[in-house]
């Protein structure tokens, strides 16, 4: 990616016109990355050619509008895609030579083309259910997105929240128990948020008031909540499973009209209320952070607490309550594991989602929208791995299991580049 910097030359007093010296820094990163992927596609076409047709199923039988299946012959399609990729690569190289930046739309075109070519190759001789692929991706991403929102708020206000995992797990546990006992799903949601807040408050108290290293408090909390929930699970929930651990579930709520849009309708708008709340939460956090007084204060506290203090913002109070808010969001995300899908609580069932969410925060450059996209990318790569291994991919399963991580690393290296955290993230504020 290239960057353009403009330096204002000091204007000499007699001259009436200010002269701007312009420096253009070009970057060959995009064309080089394109070249690597294009060569990989040619390698698939030449050495890995697989016979048969690839079928893309664009509708599931339950959809209102049925799209026809798209059938392409695998081997020729891979060749066509490889050639198209080569064209895009040449275009991007020409742009860089002409000292222009490679625009984002070209990167998107390249990524979509490459993904289409790869899927055509990997699914040769079988059919790919696109709805199921995307639906599952979103299901895997939901807890990551909630967790990354909590992480973004925490770090933007200056507290590193390693404890997302424990907040998700506490939320999942509490939601299952409260919803089972009361039979009321919303009480379960509220209880999960309270549980998330309690975990967050422990973090906040130690990090803000007692100035304990935030990373260490977070790690300890993760271990503590795993221990607590596992203990109560085996000693209390298992013997009384019918009463304490048989949660009801949120049913799917298809949204009229929106749910009937081909492809995206069944994926995005035939979900449970937990997922709809997530859409609202992402938008709310984004608008809140960057377009409200609350967000301005929050970011000020996370970037330069001394300055914020000088203008009368109570730094530690702001941090405390926003960390608590982040805990509520993560706790809400935890409900997806239990009452969101109708599964009873099980030990360590969050399975590291909180850590992936933490990575999404950083990959997403501490921005709620980008963090959401990073979480979606991870969810997509995970479910792509599922789908490909089911249809019998030629790649060994151990390697396939690495796919989500490999894709995420490449995407981050290629698209994100250098990241800068909030300046005061992780640093306790002591009034001097």
Interface positions with other proteins (CB under 8 A): 60, 126, 129, 132-133, 135-136, 139-140, 143, 201-202, 205-206, 209-210, 224, 227-228, 230-231, 233-234, 238, 241-242, 245-246, 336-337, 341-344, 346-349, 351-353, 382-383, 386-387, 389-392, 396-398, 401
Helix axes 130-156, 164-182, angle to 10 degrees: 110
Q: Nearest approach, Cβ of 274 to other proteins (angstroms)?
A: 12
Q: Nearest approach, Cβ of 219 to other proteins (angstroms)?
A: 14
152 versus 172: smaller Cβ distance to other proteins:
172
Query: What are the DSSP calls for 362-387, one per residue?
Result: HHTTT-HHHHHHHHHHHHHHHHHHHH
Distance CA 217, CA 209 (A): 13
Cα-trace Rg, the chain: 25
Distance of CA 49 to the CA centre of its chain: 34
**366 dihedral zone (left: phi>0; alpha: psi -120 to 50; beta):** left
Burial of 354-377, coded b for 16+ CB within 10 Å and e otherwise, reads bbbbbbbbbbbbbbbebbbbbbbb
143 versus 265: smaller Cβ distance to other proteins:
143
90 versus 246: smaller Cβ distance to other proteins:
246
Structure tokens at 236: 């209390």
Q: CA-CA distances (angstroms) from residue 241 to 156, 170, 175, 237, 300? A: 40, 18, 14, 5, 48
Q: Nearest approach, Cβ of 135 to other proteins (angstroms)?
A: 7
3-state secondary structure of 261: coil
38 versus 161: smaller Cβ distance to other proteins:
161
38 versus 54: smaller Cβ distance to other proteins:
54
Q: Nearest approach, Cβ of 182 to other proteins (angstroms)?
A: 17
Q: Nearest approach, Cβ of 209 to other proteins (angstroms)?
A: 5
**62 dihedral zone (left: phi>0; alpha: psi -120 to 50; beta):** alpha
Q: Nearest approach, Cβ of 43 to other proteins (angstroms)?
A: 22
Closest CA to 76 of 107, 112, 100, 52: 52
Distance CA 131, CA 120 (A): 16
Q: Nearest approach, Cβ of 102 to other proteins (angstroms)?
A: 34
56 versus 110: smaller Cβ distance to other proteins:
56
Helix (H) or strand (E) holding 154: helix 130-156
Distance CA 375, CA 347 (A): 23
17 versus 242: smaller Cβ distance to other proteins:
242
For the chain, how are helix, strand and coil distributed in percent, rounded to 5?
65, 5, 30
Closest CA to 171 of 236, 235, 247: 247
Contact call for residues 217 and 163 (beta carbons, < 8 A)? yes
Q: Nearest approach, Cβ of 5 to other proteins (angstroms)?
A: 45
Q: Nearest approach, Cβ of 44 to other proteins (angstroms)?
A: 20
Q: Which residues contact 108 (CB under 8 A, 6 or more apart)?
A: none
41 versus 179: smaller Cβ distance to other proteins:
179
93 versus 198: smaller Cβ distance to other proteins:
198
Q: Nearest approach, Cβ of 259 to other proteins (angstroms)?
A: 16
Q: Nearest approach, Cβ of 211 to other proteins (angstroms)?
A: 12
107 versus 175: smaller Cβ distance to other proteins:
175
54 versus 139: smaller Cβ distance to other proteins:
139
């Amino acid at each position: 990616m290239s960057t353009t910097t403009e330096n204002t030359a000091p204007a000499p007093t007699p001259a009436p016109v200010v002269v701007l010296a312009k420096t253009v820094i070009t970057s060959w990163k995009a064309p080089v990355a394109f070249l690597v992927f294009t060569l990989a596609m040619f390698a698939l076409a030449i050495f890995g050619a697989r016979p048969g047709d690839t079928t893309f199923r664009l509708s599931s039988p339950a959809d209102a509008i049925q799209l026809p299946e798209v059938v392409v012959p695998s081997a020729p399609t891979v060749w066509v895609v490889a050639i198209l990729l080569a064209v895009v690569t040449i275009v991007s190289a020409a742009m860089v030579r002409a000292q222009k930046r490679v625009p984002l739309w070209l990167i998107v075109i390249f990524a979509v083309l490459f993904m289409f070519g790869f899927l055509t190759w990997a699914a040769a001789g079988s059919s790919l259910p696109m709805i199921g692929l995307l639906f599952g991706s979103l299901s895997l991403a939901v807890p990551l997105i909630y967790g990354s929102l909590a992480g973004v708020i925490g770090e933007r206000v200056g507290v590193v929240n390693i404890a997302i995992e424990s907040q998700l797990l506490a939320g999942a546990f509490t939601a299952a128990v409260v919803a089972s006992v009361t039979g009321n799903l919303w009480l379960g949601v509220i209880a999960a948020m309270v549980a998330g807040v309690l975990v967050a408050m422990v973090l906040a108290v130690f990090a803000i008031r007692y100035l304990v290293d935030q990373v260490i408090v977070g790690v300890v909390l993760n271990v503590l909540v795993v221990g607590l929930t596992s203990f109560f699970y085996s000693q209390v929930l298992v013997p009384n499973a019918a009463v304490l651990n048989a949660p009801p579930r949120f049913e799917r709520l298809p949204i009229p009209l929106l749910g009937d849009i081909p492809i995206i309708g069944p994926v995005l708008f035939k979900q449970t209320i937990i997922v709809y709340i997530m859409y609202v939460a992402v938008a709310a956090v984004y608008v809140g952070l960057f377009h409200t007084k609350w967000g301005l204060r929050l970011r000020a506290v996370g970037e330069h607490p001394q300055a914020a203090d000088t203008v009368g913002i109570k730094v530690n109070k702001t941090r405390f309550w926003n960390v608590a808010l982040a805990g509520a969001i993560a706790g809400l995300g935890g409900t997806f594991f239990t009452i969101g899908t109708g599964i009873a609580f099980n030990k360590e069932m969050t399975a590291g989602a909180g850590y992936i969410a933490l990575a999404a925060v950083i990959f997403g450059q501490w921005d709620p929208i980008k963090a959401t996209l990073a979480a979606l990318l991870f969810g997509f790569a995970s479910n792509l791995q599922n789908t490909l291994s089911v249809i019998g991919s030629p790649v060994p399963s151990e390697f396939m299991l690495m796919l989500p991580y490999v894709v995420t690393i490449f995407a981050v290296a290629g698209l994100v580049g250098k990241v800068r955290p909030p300046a005061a993230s992780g640093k306790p504020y002591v009034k001097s």
